[in-house]
Structure 1
Amino acid sequence: NAIFTARNPSIWGEGTTSCASDSKKFGSWDQNLMTEWHIRYGGRGVMIYWHVEKKSTCIYSQLKRCSSSEVAAMIEGVLRHCTDMEIDRQYVDSHGQSEVAFAFSHLLGFDLLPRLKAIASQKLYRPGDDKPGDYPNLEPILTRPINWELIIQQYDEMIKYATALKQGTADPEAILRRFTRNNIQHPYKALAELGKVIKTIFLCRYIGSEELRQEIHEGLNVVENWNSANVFIFYGKGGEVATNRLEDQELSVLALHLLQISLVYVNTLMIQQVLNEPNWLSRMKLEDFRALTPLIYAHVNPYGLFELDMNTRLPIEVAA
C-alpha cells in the first residue's frame, strides 16, 4: 500500500487493476509433508506462488506443495491479498487456468486471461442455436453446443460455491478437488459447462485482438522478472529452504517476500527522485517509460560490505 501511495502517476501511469500470477520452485529438505518431487522441473522442493501487479509489486505469496492446484492458488491470491488494490484482470500461464477456473472467475467478478501453450488444439463450443454450415470456416475447431439447461438448473449451487470462496468459508483447493477430469459424476457439472462458455468467449477475444495478446505477455513477463530476482536475493543455502518445520518454511517465504517488496519500494522512491530533475526527465522517451521497472538489483550487494584497514590489527596476541 505504501508503494501504491508513493507512486508518481506521471512516471508509472495510473493505478492498475491487473495482476499476474505464477509459481516458482525452490529446493527444500525432504523430511516433511510439504516437500514433493516436481514432475516438470525435477528435483524435490516446494512451490511459492506469487501474485505480482504490472509494476512489479507483489501483493500476495503462498507456500504450496509441488502437486498443489495452481488454479486454487490463483483464486486464493485474488480473494485474500489484503491490499488496497482491486483486481479485475488476472494473467496466468497454461497451468493456472481450467474450465472451472473460468467459471469461478466470472462468478467472482474478475477476468481470467491465460497465455495458452496449446492454443492450436483448443476448441470452440457452439451457442446452441446455430445451424450446420453457419460457420464453414470454423468447422475444424467447433465442437458440441452448450447445455444451457444444465447451467439454469444448477445456478443456485454455482452461486453457493462462489459465495463460499468469496466469504472464506471454504478453501479453494478443497472445492476444486471435486472437479477433476476423472470425477465426471459430480452433481455440479454446470460449473464446468459455464467455464466452457467463458473460455470460448476468451478464445475469440484472444485470437482476434493482438493488443490483448501483448497485454497478457507483458503481465506475465513482469512475474517472470520477479522470479528471476528471487534467485539473486534468496542466495543463502544455495537457494534452498533449509528446514523441515512448516512454520520455518513459511517464515522463509514471508521474509523473502518482505525483502523483495522492500527493494521495490526503495527503488520506486529512488527512480522518482532522479526523474524529478528536469534534465533527466527530458531525456525519457515513451519507450523508456514503458521499459521502466522498480525491480532492479544490479546496484545491490547482497553479501554486505567488508572494510579492510591495513593500519589496525585484531586484538589477538601473536603466538611465540
Structure 2
Amino acid sequence: LWGQGDKASSDSMTLDTSRYLHSARMEYRRKQHGVGIYVHMLDTWALFHDQPIVINDRQAAPAVDGVEAHNCSRREDQIRLSLLAVDTHGYTNAAMAIAKLLGFDLCVRLRQLSERKMFLARGDTVPEALERLTVGKVSLGKIRAGWMDLLHLVASIRQGRLTAGEAIARLGSAARGDPVHAAADELGKLLRTIFLCDYFTIPEFRREMHALLNRGESVHQLQRAVYHGRVGVSRGRRADELRAISTAHTLLTNVVISWNTMKMQDVVDRWKVAKHPIDESWLRRIGPVHFEHVNFRGTIAFDMDPYIDALIERPAKQRVARLK
C-alpha cells in the first residue's frame, strides 16, 4: 500500500560534530557544526543507499550516484527505480540529463518556482499560453556538438569505469565551456521544462512527489533519535570511519522501520480476523517511523561468529592456515 518500489526520494541530514573535524561545516539553520549523511529512501520506506557528504555543497552527484548504484545491482527480473524526488540542492541541469540517459527521471521540488524559467529550443515560437512566463532559449547546436561525448560518458558509467557521482562532479560549474558540459546543461534545461509542465498540470504527480519528499523528512526525525549524540573527532577523521558511521546509522534506522512495519502488519491482520478491517486509504498515510516506544539507550547484542569471515578481512597467512 505504500508503493511499488520503483520510486524513491533522497535528502541529506546532519550529524552534529566538533568544529575541529576537517570535514565539518556550519549548518546555518541550526547554527551547529556537522557532517552530512545523504540517504536514499524507497517509496516503501526502506533506506537503500547512504554516503557521507560535506554539507552545504550541491548534492546532485550523490543523488544520481545512489540510484545508479541501486539499479546496477538489480537483476533483469527485479524492479528498478524510474523516479527520484529531490530538493533544490539535489539537482543541476547536467544531473537531470545524466539521470535521464541512465534511465530514470530526476524530479526536483524547486524553491521560488515563480522565478524559474522554462526553456524552448532556439527558433521555436512561444505558445500563447506561455507568453506571460519568462521563457529562455536552448541551443540545439550545443547538444549536437557534445552529444557523442555525452553518450560516451554515460557508457563509461554503465561499464563501471567511473561512478555517476564522479561524472556529475566533473560537469560542475568549473566545466563551463566544455562541449560535454554544454550539451548536458542544454539538454537538462529542456528536461526541466517538461518536468515543470507535468508538475503544474498533473496534480496526482505533484502530490506523489511531495509525499515522497515528506516521507524523507519524517525519516530524518527517526535518524536523529537513533544518533542523538555527536560524532567525535577521534572517530570521524578518515573517510572510511565516516562511511562506517553512515552505514551503521542507516542499518539501525532500517531495523526500527522493519520492526514497526512488522508490528503494524500484526495489528492489521488481527483486526481483519476480528471483522474490523482498517481502510486501506488510512494505511497508505501511516508510516513506520514512530520511535516513542523504542529504548535507544539499550544494548543490542548480535551473534557475530557465523559472519566473522565475511566481516573481517584476515591477513593472508591466517586465511591459508584456516583453509588447511
* TMscore range, shorter length: 0.7 to 0.9
Shift of 1:13: 5.4
Residue aligning to 1:218:
211
> 1:297–1:244: structure 2 CA closer, same or farther, 3 Å change rule?
closer
Could you say what the CA RMSD is over the residues aligned between the two structures, in angstroms?
Answer: 2.4
Instruction: Give me the whole-angstrom Cα distance separating, in 2, the residues matched to 1:118 and 1:195.
Output: 19
- Is residue 117 of structure 1 aligned with residue 111 of structure 2? yes
The C-alpha deviation readout for 1:242-279, integer Å capped at 9, x for no partner, is 52432333222221111111112222222222222225
Superposition pairs for residues 182-261 of structure 1, below 5 Å? 183-188=175-180, 189-235=182-228, 238-241=229-232, 243-246=235-238, 247-261=240-254
Give 1:96's match in structure 2, choosing from 84, 90, 94. 90
Q: Which residue is equivalent to 2:151?
A: 159
Cα deviation per residue 1:45-94 (whole Å; 9 max; x = unaligned)? 21000001112100011111124431001011101134665110101011
Conservation of the 8 A alpha-carbon contact between 1:37 and 1:45: yes
CA contact (8 A) 1:29 1:244 kept: no
Task: Please give the secondary structure, in 2, of the residue aligned with 1:212.
Answer: helix
**Equivalent residue letter for 2:158:** K
Q: Which amino acid is the alignment partner of residue 116 of structure 1?
A: L
Partner of 2:133 in structure 1? 141
1:21 has 2:15 as partner: no
CA contact (8 A) 2:119 2:135 kept: yes
The reply to whether residue 49 of structure 1 matches residue 38 of structure 2 is: yes
CA gap 1:144/1:113 in 2 versus in 1, 3 angstroms: closer
Determine helix, strand or coil for the equivalent of 2:179. coil
Kept after mapping to 2: 8 A contact 1:122/1:141: no
Structure-2 separation of matches of 1:136 and 1:267: 52
- Residue type at the aligned position of 1:290: R
Query: 1:241·1:252 contact (CA, 8 Å) conserved in 2?
Result: no
- Size of the alignment, in residue pairs? 290
1:63 and 2:57 matched: no
Query: Percent identity between the aligned chains?
Result: 24
Unaligned runs of 5+ in 1: 1-11, 306-320
1:80 pairs with 2:72: no
**In structure 2, how many angstroms separate the alpha carbons of the residues matched to 1:212 and 1:296?**
27
Q: Is the 8 A contact 1:100 1:191 kept in 2?
A: yes
One-letter code of the match for 2:192? K
Question: Alpha-carbon deviations, 1:187-239, whole Å to 9, x = none?
Answer: 3211111111111111111111111111111000111111110111112xx24
Deviations 1:10-32 (A, max 9, x none): xx356320000000011123444
* TM-score (normalised: structure 2): 0.81
Q: Matches of 2:147 and 2:173 in 1, distance apart?
A: 21
TM-score (norm 1): 0.82
Q: Tell me the equivalent position of 2:265.
A: 272
**3-state SS of the aligned residue for 1:141?**
coil
The higher-RCO structure (CA 8 Å, 6+ apart) is: 1
